[in-house]
Amino acid sequence: MTENHVAVKTGEVNRLHYLRSLAKTAHAFAAAKFGLDALEPFLTDLILNRSDDVSEYVGDDPFVAPIEDIDGHTLQIFLGEAMGGPEQGLLTVRFQLYPFLDSPAHLVVVGKALVDIGARLRGEV
């Protein structure tokens, strides 16, 4: 017997709720990595549902990053600092859910660095 592809409708995904969950995840990751004292957070109102201006801080990453040896991992997440231009010094989280399925990657601007993030990323502080 040959199997055919079958589609199943599992429900609607609210884009605002999805992007808000990405913002929450990125904020939590940055806070866990460096502590809240290391940044001026931009996402608090969005996370607490006091703002719907999600497109100001959350978007898709148009670049394809190299996939590390993931062996079935469901998440790739990186924290960095924007370099150059008006975004200089802003903390950004890049993450991708289910990278082995070539799902879209997202960029989230988390906040403004209040400490030398480069030094922290290099382990100097």
What tens digit of pLDDT does each residue of 26-63 get?
Answer: 999 999 988 888 889 999 999 999 999 999 999 888 77
Asked if residue 66 has pLDDT above 70, the reply is no
Mean pLDDT of 16-32: 94
- pLDDT for 103 equals 83
Tell me the C-alpha distance between 35 and 56, whole Å: 23
Beta strands in the chain (DSSP E): 39-41, 58-60, 75-81, 90-97, 105-113
Q: State the Rg of the chain over Cα.
A: 17
Judge contact between 57 and 22, C-beta under 8 A: no
Residue 3: band (very low, low, confident or very high) from pLDDT cuts 50, 70, 90:
low
- Name the residue with higher pLDDT: 119 or 93: 93
pLDDT in tens, 74-108: 888 888 887 777 777 789 999 888 887 778 889 99
pLDDT at 36: 85
- Residue-wise DSSP of 60-90: E--S-PPPP--TT-SEEEEEEE--SGGGTTE
Output the six-digit token pair for 11.
Answer: 């429900």
What does pTM read for this prediction?
0.79
Of 78, 81, 88, 90, give the one whose Cα is nearest residue 25: 78
Model confidence band, residue 71 (pLDDT cutoffs 50, 70, 90): low
Q: Which residues are CB-neighbours of 46 under 8 A, at least 6 positions away?
A: 20, 23, 52, 53, 54, 57
Give, in degrees to the nearest 5, the angle at Cα 105 between 102 and 107: 175
What is the arithmetic mean of pLDDT over 12-34? 92
